[in-house]
Chain A
Amino acid sequence: MQKTVLVVGAGPAGLAAAAGVAASGAQAVLVDKAAKLGGTPILSGYAKLVPSGEWARDAMGRMVKRVEESKNVTIHKETKVTKLAGEAGKFTATLSNGTSVECASVILATGFTHFDSINKPEWGFGTYEDVVTTTQVEQMVAAGKIACPSDGRVPERVAILLCVGSRDRQIGREWCSKICCTVSTNLAMEIKELSPTTDVFIYYMDIRTFGLYEDRFYWKSQEEFKTKFVKARIAEVTRAPDGRLLVKGEDTLVKRPIVIPMDLVVHAIGMDPNEDNPEIARVFGVGLEKHGFIDRAEHYTNTCGTTRRGIYAVGAALAPETIDDSISQGTAAALRAVADLDALVQKSA
Chain B
Amino acid sequence: MAIHEKSLIDAERIQTSDNLVLDGVDVSGHWNTMVLPRYLTDYDTDFARQIRTFSGGENVHRCWQCGSCTNSCTVYAQNTDFNPRYWIYLTNLGLKNEILKDKDIIWTCVSCNRCTNICPKDVKPEGVMKALAHWLEEEGHTPESKSTIFDNEFLDQVYATGRIEDTRVLVNFLRKTNQSLMPPWLIEIGKRMTKYFPLTFLIHMGLHLVFKPRTKSWGRTGDVLRAYVHEQKEIARKARAMPKEAVHV
- Known pairs A228-B93, A254-B89, A257-B39; A197 contacts B244 (CB<8 A): yes
Is B18 at the interface (CB under 8 A from chain A)? no
Q: Are A192 and B249 in contact (CB under 8 A)?
A: yes
Is A224 at the interface (CB under 8 A from chain B)? yes
Is A222 at the interface (CB under 8 A from chain B)? yes
In the complex, residue of chain B having the shortest beta-carbon distance to the beta carbon of A199: B45
When chains A and B are docked, how far (Å) is the Cα of A231 from the Cα of B85?
A: 13
When chains A and B are docked, how far (Å) is the Cα of A259 from the Cα of B41?
A: 5
Which of B57-65, B181-189, B225-233 forms contacts with chain A?
B57-65
Q: Are A228 and B39 in contact (CB under 8 A)?
A: no
- Known pairs A228-B92, A231-B65, A254-B98; A260 contacts B43 (CB<8 A): yes
Is A196 at the interface (CB under 8 A from chain B)? yes
Q: Are B86 and A253 in contact (CB under 8 A)?
A: yes
Q: Give the B interface residue count (CB, 8 A).
A: 25
Is A230 at the interface (CB under 8 A from chain B)? yes
Closest Cβ of chain A to B85, distance in Å, is 8
- Known pairs A260-B41, A260-B42; A254 contacts B95 (CB<8 A): yes
Is B248 at the interface (CB under 8 A from chain A)? yes
In the complex, residue of chain A having the shortest beta-carbon distance to the beta carbon of B45: A199
Q: Are B41 and A197 in contact (CB under 8 A)?
A: no
Is B27 at the interface (CB under 8 A from chain A)? no
When chains A and B are docked, how far (Å) is the Cα of A258 from the Cα of B62?
A: 23
Which residues of chain B are within 8 angstroms of A256 by Cβ–Cβ distance?
38-40
Is A225 at the interface (CB under 8 A from chain B)? yes
Q: Are B39 and A223 in contact (CB under 8 A)?
A: no
When chains A and B are docked, how far (Å) is the Cα of A201 from the Cα of B94?
A: 12
Is B245 at the interface (CB under 8 A from chain A)? yes
Is B90 at the interface (CB under 8 A from chain A)? yes
In the complex, residue of chain A having the shortest beta-carbon distance to the beta carbon of B61: A226
Q: Are B248 and A222 in contact (CB under 8 A)?
A: no
Interface residues of B in 15-40 (CB under 8 A from A): 38-40
Q: Are B40 and A254 in contact (CB under 8 A)?
A: yes
When chains A and B are docked, how far (Å) is the Cα of A158 from the Cα of B154?
A: 48
In the complex, residue of chain A having the shortest beta-carbon distance to the beta carbon of B243: A197
Is A157 at the interface (CB under 8 A from chain B)? yes
When chains A and B are docked, how far (Å) is the Cα of A223 from the Cα of B244?
A: 18
Which residues of chain B are within 8 angstroms of A222 by Cβ–Cβ distance?
61-62, 64
Which residues of chain A are within 8 angstroms of B65 by Cβ–Cβ distance?
229, 231, 253
Interface residues of B in 114-135 (CB under 8 A from A): 121
Q: Are A230 and B40 in contact (CB under 8 A)?
A: no
Is A14 at the interface (CB under 8 A from chain B)? no
- Known pairs A157-B45, A197-B248, A231-B65; A257 contacts B93 (CB<8 A): no
Closest Cβ of chain B to A170, distance in Å, is 23
Closest Cβ of chain A to B92, distance in Å, is 6
Which residues of chain B are within 8 angstroms of A192 by Cβ–Cβ distance?
249
Closest Cβ of chain B to A30, distance in Å, is 44
Which residues of chain B are within 8 angstroms of A219 by Cβ–Cβ distance?
62, 121
Q: Which of B38, B41, B62, B249 contacts A196 (CB 8 A)?
A: B249
In the complex, residue of chain A having the shortest beta-carbon distance to the beta carbon of B92: A228
Q: Are B40 and A259 in contact (CB under 8 A)?
A: yes
Closest Cβ of chain B to A10, distance in Å, is 39
When chains A and B are docked, how far (Å) is the Cα of A257 from the Cα of B61?
A: 23
Q: Are A258 and B40 in contact (CB under 8 A)?
A: yes
Is A261 at the interface (CB under 8 A from chain B)? yes
Is A251 at the interface (CB under 8 A from chain B)? yes
Contact flags B39-80 to A (C-beta < 8 A → 1, else 0): 111110100110000000000011011000000000000000
Instruction: Please list the 9 inter-chain residue pairs (A to B) with the smallest Cβ-Cβ separation, ordered nearest first.
Output: A257-B39, A258-B40, A199-B45, A197-B248, A226-B249, A196-B248, A259-B39, A223-B62, A253-B89
On B, residues with C-beta under 8 Å from A are 38-43, 45, 48-49, 61-62, 64-65, 86, 89-90, 92-93, 95, 98, 121, 244-245, 248-249
Q: Provide 28 A-B residue pairs closer than 8 Å at the C-beta atoms, listed in order of the A residue.
A: A157-B45, A192-B249, A196-B248, A199-B45, A201-B43, A207-B64, A219-B62, A224-B249, A225-B249, A226-B61, A226-B249, A228-B93, A229-B64, A251-B40, A253-B65, A253-B89, A254-B40, A254-B86, A254-B95, A256-B38, A256-B39, A256-B40, A257-B38, A257-B39, A257-B40, A258-B39, A258-B40, A259-B40
On A, residues with C-beta under 8 Å from B are 157, 192, 196-197, 199, 201, 207, 219, 222-226, 228-231, 251, 253-254, 256-261
